[in-house]
Each structure stands twice: as C-alpha cells, then as structure tokens.
Structure 1
Amino acid sequence: MPKITHTYLQNAKADGKTQRIPVGDSLFLQISPKGKKTWYLRYDTVSAEGKRKQNIVSLGVFPGLGLKEARVEAERRKTQAKNENVNLVELRKEERMAKARAAEVPCFHSVADAWLDLRSAEWEPRSAKQNRGRLKANVYPFIGDRRIDQVTVSDVEQCLKHIIERGSHEVARRVHTLVVSVFKYALAKNLIADPNIVVRLTWYKEQMPRRQRQSLYAEEWTPEEIGGLLLAIEETKARWTVPVSVALQVAPYCAVRPSELLKAQWEEFDLEAAEWIIPAARMKMRRIHLVPLPRQAVALFRRMREFSGTSPLVFPSTSSKGGGGPVTSMALIQALRRMGYTAENGTRFVTHGFRGLFSTIAYNILKAPTLAVELQLAHSEKDKIKAAYHKTSLRTALEERRELLQRYADYLDKLREEAREKNQ
C-alpha cells in the first residue's frame, strides 16, 4: 500500500466504479465513478438502550477539505460522539440545522450569483458564461457554502493555489478579480462590515505569478516577413470560402478586433463615404467607433457585398454548423495555420495580431501621432484624470486617421508586392 499523502489522493483517478481509500482511524476517502472525492468517517456509538451501532458520516469534499484537516475533523467528531454518546449522523444533522438558523448572512455562492446576475447585463453572453464557470469550477467547491463574512484571505488563497499549481496563471488572476468584485458587492450590500479583506486581496494579487505572454505575431518579423504573410493570404485566397477569404484580406487594413470585423453588418457601412461605424454594443470599451476605410478595404467590402448583400451579416458562415451566424475567428486562425503560420514553425499568428502590426508600423515606420493611432485602435485612456478632461467624439482627428490608414494600407501593399517580386 503506498503512503497516503495529500498529493497521492489528489492524483487518484476515477475508474468507473466507487473506490474507497482508507487513511486510518476509520477515516476513508470515497471516489465516485465520475471522480467526486468525499471524506467519510466510520464510527460505532452506543444507543441509550445499550445497543452498539455503526455510523458513517460525511465530513466534506476533497480537496476543499484536505487530508490533514480531515484527520483533525475526524478526531473531533469521534471525541464529541464519545463524550456525548450520540449518533454522529444525528449530530451532523443538528449542526446543519443550527448553522441554518444562525445564517443571517448569505453564503459566498449566493452573493456571487447575485453579483453575476447584476453584471451579466453588461457582458457578452460568452463572457458571462465564462465568469460563472470560473467561479463554479475554482471557488464554489472550497468556499461556496461558507458565510461570506467568514471567508478569509487564506481561504481565497487556497482556491487560487490550486489554479496556479496546474499552471493556469492567467485564469488564477481572472478568478481573483471576480472574487474581489464579489466582496466589493458584499460591502456595498452591508453583508460584510470590514473592507480589510478587499485591501489585503488587492495586495495579494501583486504577488501572484503572471502568465508568460506569447506575442500574437513574432516581434522580430522583418518587413519582408510581413510581406510574405500578406502574399500568402493573397495567393491562397481561392482555397477558402468567400467570407473567410475576404475577411482575411480585409483584416490587415482595418486594425479592428476579430469579433468586431466578423460580426459586422451591412447597415453599419457607408461605402460611398468610405466609413464604417461600429455600434457601442459590439465594441470592447462599449463606445461607438468609426473606421475610415482605405480604398483597398472599400474594394474588398464591395466584392463581399456581391456575395452577402442579401444577408444582414457581411461575413456569414457557409458552414452547415454555422447556424446562420458569422464566420468565426477560429476559421481564420485555421486558414493561417494551413498556410504554415504555426507555433511549431515559430511563425504563430492570429488575426488579433493585425492590430499589433498596425500599431508597430504606425509608430515606428509611419511616425504617426499618438492620438490618431490610439483613437483608431479604440483604446481607452488608462489615466482616469486625463480621460475626464480629454473628451473625444466619433469624428475626433478623423482626417488624420483617414490619412494614416490609407498610408498604412499602401505600405502593406508595397510589402506584399516586394515579396511577390522576390519570389518570382
């Protein structure tokens, strides 16, 4: 029998049937066929009539209740049962009832659900689902049933520790942000009185490991390599469906986020004026955004209108699995991968990387002014004081942005043609 440790229990896997791992002193960990791990204590009691009875009682779920803590709790239960000569199951029931009677303050789970319900109206459905899922998977098993005013920084640290240990550093930081937001909501609702936990958790985040970010495109790419990418898109355009092909060709010229491009609707465009107005609901910063279109982009959108002009969507999916929705960003990424732009080749690139290309070229090559670049990228002012005084409108610096995007598009065309000449 191997030595029973916390790590050993953590690594134990479900095998399709109920397993029991004894850890000594009538305590065992039961693993369900689907992998749920629950602590149970087996203990004999003597009834008032003098009859001996065996009791099995649940102590909690692993790893929320670790090996060391389970042993301590088992000893406490056995001692209490021995001293009071009561049935452990009845004792557990009485404790739950007492806890329910005393629970004037809701548990973390219910407070978090209330906060999520409040904020979900502001989020994209996908983001709302992700945030609920992150709390359900990483937080609720540990502190979900605990009164929110009794949750400590150490409790939250244990939740985050499990995420960090599996290498999901960015998920840990996002979960931390969600937990802090739940506590801020609880403070506002007078469910907890001491704001100290919010302050301490904010300090704790500074010590958390950060994800080692990978660039969406290789920062050391030369103009020749950028031209090669654009040429690859140009030369393989016939391999993809029309929506995927045109979306890949137009993406470099517009410098918008992939979701903003792929969910575009024809009612947002004035091709005669060479303008595209993206509604606030589809923008990350929830601010309406105007994209002055260079002539290359206008030509591509006109071509796309011949294909999808009867649809409200500019880039409707032609896949049977598309469900009437737009082309997905994964479809564009897969196209790039098939061109050879993969992590294995050291040339990983995704469509969001076109925004990085625009920023790099605009600043370093075209020497564009900061205001025009940042407005075109639809970035928000991080300095809240500056943001309060520096108000911008939909058409702020529009002519400067229009001129910048046209120079940028012409520069990309130049790189692509140079790559074509080199390959001939």
Structure 2
Amino acid sequence: MSKDKLTDSKLRTAKPEDKEYNLGDGDGLYLRIKPNGNKMWLFNYYRPDNKKRANLSFGPYPDVTLAAARERRRQARALLSENIDPQTYLQEQIAITKARDEASSNTFVKIARQWLDMKRHDVSEDYAEDTWRSLEMYILPELANKTIDLIRAPMVISLLRPLEADGKLETVRRLCQRVNEIMSYAVNHGLLDANPCADIRKVFKKPSKKHMPTIRPDELPLLMADIINGRLDATTRCQIEWSLHTLVRPNESAGTRWDEIDLESKIWTIPAERMKMDRTHRIPLTKQAIALLERMKPISGHRPHVFPSYRNPLGHIHEQTANAALKRLGYGGRLVAHGLRSLGSTTLNEQEFNPDVIEAALSHADDNEIRRAYNRSDYFEQRIKMMQWWSDHIEAAAQGWFSLGGSKGLKIVNS
C-alpha cells in the first residue's frame, strides 16, 4: 500500500491541532480533522457543469469507516465519469426517498378526512356526516389503506357496479363526485400529478330526472294557510317562506349567509361555489324577503348563516329540514321544497312573464349551447319587477293569515 494512503491506525491516532487539517487518501478523498476533535470524510471534485471545485460530505469518522468512505468515493467517481454531479444525485435520491415515505403515509382515508375537514366550512354538519357515512359504507372498506397514488379508476368503478345493478344511480352519482373531489384535493396539494378518477361518472348510467312533487298554482292559498297555522318553529318557517319568495334551490336557501346579503342595494348574491351551475347568482330582494330577514336578525344576526343549525349554531339548517316540515304539514308525496320553484315557475309563466326572465330567476342554463354563449344577460332589472309581483302574489294568497314576509304581523305556533 502506498505511504500516501490512509490506514485505520493512522486515522485512530490522528490528533486535533489548533487549526483544522486534512489527511488525504487520494482521488479526492480526505479526512478533515477539526480543533474540537471531530473527523469528517470529504470528497473533493470538479463539478461537471461548470468545472468548479466542490466538496461532498461522506459523513463522520468512525461512524463511516475507511472502507465505506472509499466505496462512496468509487461510486462518486463512477457518476462523474457519466458527467453526473454526485452531490446533485445525492440530493435527488434524498428527495425521492422522502417523497416515497410521504406517499406511503398518504392513504386514501387520510386524504379523504383532510378533504372533508376542508369541506365542513361550506356544508352543514348533517351533510358532512352523510358524506362520510356513504364513503364508509361503499368506498373505505376496500380503499381506506391504499396509498392515494395507487388509486385507479377501475378500482372505484368495480366498487360502484353493484350499486348501479341495484338501481341506486343517485348514490353512484354522489359517490363518483365525492371520490373525484378527494382525488382532485390530492392533486391540488401536490400529492398526485393528475386525477385518475376525474371521469368515472361517465361509465355509469345517469339517474333519470324526476320531476319534483309540487302543487298547482291555485293551491298556494291553502299552502300558505298550512304553513302559517302549522306547528313550525320560526327558523324553519322563515326558511320555507324565504325559499318560496326567492325561488332558489333548497341547499342554496338553507346555506344563506348574512355576508351574502346587501340590504342597502336589496340584493342577495350567492357565490359561484354554492351554485349548481358554478356561477354567481344575484337575487333581487323584495320587501317581503327583506321582512323575513328582519324576522331572523334577532335569532341569527350575530351568526354566519341566516338560518342556523339547531345542533351547530355556526352551521346552517339542513337542506332537508324544509322537506320534513312540509311532510309533517301533510304534503308528503305532493310537495317538496324544490317543488316551490316549480310552483313559482308555473305561476309566472301563466302570468305571461318573459320566459327568459323566469329562467334567469331560477338560475337555469339555456339548453341551447350557442344561444347560451351569446346571451349573457341575467335580466336583473326585469327580475326586480317580476319577483316583487311574485312576493305580492304570495302575500295575497295568505288570505288574511299572517305571512312572516307580509305586512300584517306575525303568528307563530311553537312546537
């Protein structure tokens, strides 16, 4: 062995000095000995890209033995022969290992929980519980402990085929949407490059569109009498009347927020993320709709939502609460909350209001794609007049009963 090569004996007996110094082993490998006695293996080389000198640490001695240090030198020189910077290569390997370790901890159930925690800010607690229950029942038994990067569309599709065979097409649609959102959440947080489940809904049969049960326009006076005389609490009753006056969807009505209301301009603006068509919807507020808000102010004016949840005051009333109330009033199978929109649409069409204005009030998208592209008007000024007529019509239909949105007073029968 050359006298210039290091030996274990020489390494063990090397003493610290006032200044750090190096013991060389050749081919760029040396041991740096510091005044405090620490000994560190270093590999000195020229970077392939710019030919500048650089040092790469191989770790401390004696943790890294002489033989191990020489093997690392051999590996580094082999990389240099391929014009690969060993320091860059090492950093990349560390990053890959870290990413692999993180990926192994990112199970589907973990990411699903994170997604739902984020979603809880925009939905009621009841809706969040229903969402998680559906995942626990149909998705998590098979996918819970699989890492998110291993989830593939065929896995999810095979889990949902039995539901499709049973005719539970609406459940399939909702689960497709939820899995898709979870995977998109993973993409947006850098855990996946793409969402493999983005289009899984396209392989299933579509749920058939069912017309929501509703009543005839001439039955509105009876409905108002039943609402007014029924044993409904103030929040539920106000929310039903609010839905009737504004003609919005049940979930949009239930989730009404005070910060969406501009009383000075008499406009309620529902943000795109709360709308079915993912576009902002403005609703002109009639004097009766504003009266309903005034009724709710003492109850919820200090809270985020106009119609607060009974179990969680910071959340909002469940979108099915109005349906349950209508059922208790004897309208089971005849009228649901969504049917209030149909009632309003039918009445307004019978009064020969402009169909485009009515569709805009209902926030419907034009079925004609070309016409939709050119017609971007929301007919707001025309809707102001039409919606005030509709609210006046509702008030008149109360026939002397006290509508909360009316001007005759308040009559609530507490449950």
| Deviation readout 1:148-207 (Å, 9 max, x if unpaired) | 779684x555422332355522112333455677889999999899x9x988x66632xx
For residues 212 and 380 of structure 1, do their structure 2 counterparts lie closer, same or farther at Cα, with a shift above 3 Å needed? Answer: closer
Aligned to 2:93: none
User: What is the percentage of aligned positions where both structures have the same residue?
Assistant: 24
Structure 1 position 317, deviation (Å): 4.8
For structure 2, the residue ranges without an aligned partner over 5 or more in a row are 1-99, 403-415
Q: What does residue range 159-178 of structure 1 map to in structure 2 within 5 Å?
A: 159-177=159-177
Aligned to 1:294: 286
C-alpha distance in structure 1 between counterparts of 2:186 and 2:303, whole Å: 43
For residues 181 and 276 of structure 1, do their structure 2 counterparts lie closer, same or farther at Cα, with a shift above 3 Å needed? Answer: closer
Matched position secondary structure for 2:330: coil
| Deviation readout 1:89-126 (Å, 9 max, x if unpaired) | xxxxxxxxxxxxxx99x89x947966996798578356
Q: Are positions 1:204 and 2:203 aligned together?
A: yes
| Deviation readout 1:6-26 (Å, 9 max, x if unpaired) | xxxxxxxxxxxxxxxxxxxxx
Task: Kindly provide the amino acid, as one letter, of the partner of residue 361 in structure 1.
Answer: T
Matched position secondary structure for 1:354: helix
Q: Are positions 1:368 and 2:367 aligned together?
A: no
Give yes or no for contact 1:257–1:355 (8 Å, CA) kept in 2: yes
Matched position secondary structure for 1:350: coil
C-alpha distance in structure 2 between counterparts of 1:177 and 1:269, whole Å: 30
Give yes or no for contact 2:284–2:384 (8 Å, CA) kept in 1: yes
Task: Kindly provide the amino acid, as one letter, of the partner of residue 228 in structure 1.
Answer: L
Aligned to 1:235: 229
Structure 1 position 403, deviation (Å): 1.3
Q: What does residue range 174-185 of structure 1 map to in structure 2 within 5 Å?
A: 174-177=174-177
Matched position secondary structure for 1:291: strand
C-alpha distance in structure 1 between counterparts of 2:350 and 2:256, whole Å: 29
C-alpha distance in structure 2 between counterparts of 1:257 and 1:338, whole Å: 20
For residues 261 and 158 of structure 1, do their structure 2 counterparts lie closer, same or farther at Cα, with a shift above 3 Å needed? Answer: closer
For residues 366 and 313 of structure 1, do their structure 2 counterparts lie closer, same or farther at Cα, with a shift above 3 Å needed? Answer: farther
Aligned to 1:32: none
Matched position secondary structure for 1:340: helix
Q: Which of 359, 364, 369 is residue 345 of structure 2 equivalent to?
A: 359
Q: Which of 270, 274, 279 is residue 278 of structure 1 equivalent to?
A: 270
Q: Which of 212, 217, 220 is residue 226 of structure 1 equivalent to?
A: 220
Task: Kindly provide the amino acid, as one letter, of the partner of residue 244 in structure 1.
Answer: T
For residues 365 and 184 of structure 1, do their structure 2 counterparts lie closer, same or farther at Cα, with a shift above 3 Å needed? Answer: same
Which structure's CA Rg is the greater one?
Answer: 2
C-alpha distance in structure 1 between counterparts of 2:193 and 2:257, whole Å: 46
Q: Are positions 1:342 and 2:332 aligned together?
A: yes
Aligned to 2:26: none
| Higher RCO (CA < 8 A, seq sep 6+) | 2
Give yes or no for contact 1:227–1:419 (8 Å, CA) kept in 2: no
C-alpha distance in structure 2 between counterparts of 1:257 and 1:158, whole Å: 33
For residues 137 and 222 of structure 1, do their structure 2 counterparts lie closer, same or farther at Cα, with a shift above 3 Å needed? Answer: closer
| Deviation readout 1:340-374 (Å, 9 max, x if unpaired) | 1123xxx2x23232222223333x31333343223
Structure 1 position 260, deviation (Å): 3.2
C-alpha distance in structure 1 between counterparts of 2:303 and 2:226, whole Å: 30
For structure 1, the residue ranges without an aligned partner over 5 or more in a row are 1-102
Q: What does residue range 70-109 of structure 1 map to in structure 2 within 5 Å?
A: none
C-alpha distance in structure 1 between counterparts of 2:326 and 2:151, whole Å: 51
Aligned to 2:212: 216
C-alpha distance in structure 1 between counterparts of 2:396 and 2:177, whole Å: 44
For residues 388 and 340 of structure 1, do their structure 2 counterparts lie closer, same or farther at Cα, with a shift above 3 Å needed? Answer: same
Structure 1 position 402, deviation (Å): 0.8
For residues 131 and 387 of structure 1, do their structure 2 counterparts lie closer, same or farther at Cα, with a shift above 3 Å needed? Answer: farther
Please give the TM-score of this superposition, normalised by the length of structure 1.
0.53
Give yes or no for contact 1:263–1:313 (8 Å, CA) kept in 2: no
Task: Kindly provide the amino acid, as one letter, of the partner of residue 245 in structure 2.
Answer: Y
Q: CA RMSD in A?
A: 4.8
For residues 272 and 386 of structure 1, do their structure 2 counterparts lie closer, same or farther at Cα, with a shift above 3 Å needed? Answer: same
Structure 1 position 255, deviation (Å): 0.8
C-alpha distance in structure 1 between counterparts of 2:295 and 2:187, whole Å: 55
C-alpha distance in structure 1 between counterparts of 2:132 and 2:160, whole Å: 16
C-alpha distance in structure 1 between counterparts of 2:271 and 2:108, whole Å: 33
Task: Kindly provide the amino acid, as one letter, of the partner of residue 246 in structure 1.
Answer: C
Q: What does residue range 110-125 of structure 1 map to in structure 2 within 5 Å?
A: 110=107, 124-125=122-123
Aligned pairs, number:
298
Task: Kindly provide the amino acid, as one letter, of the partner of residue 358 in structure 1.
Answer: G
Aligned to 2:380: 398
Give yes or no for contact 2:258–2:301 (8 Å, CA) kept in 1: no
Task: Kindly provide the amino acid, as one letter, of the partner of residue 175 in structure 1.
Answer: L
For residues 365 and 265 of structure 1, do their structure 2 counterparts lie closer, same or farther at Cα, with a shift above 3 Å needed? Answer: same
Matched position secondary structure for 1:339: helix
Q: Which of 231, 242, 263 is residue 250 of structure 1 equivalent to?
A: 242
Aligned to 1:333: 323
For residues 338 and 378 of structure 1, do their structure 2 counterparts lie closer, same or farther at Cα, with a shift above 3 Å needed? Answer: same
Matched position secondary structure for 2:331: coil
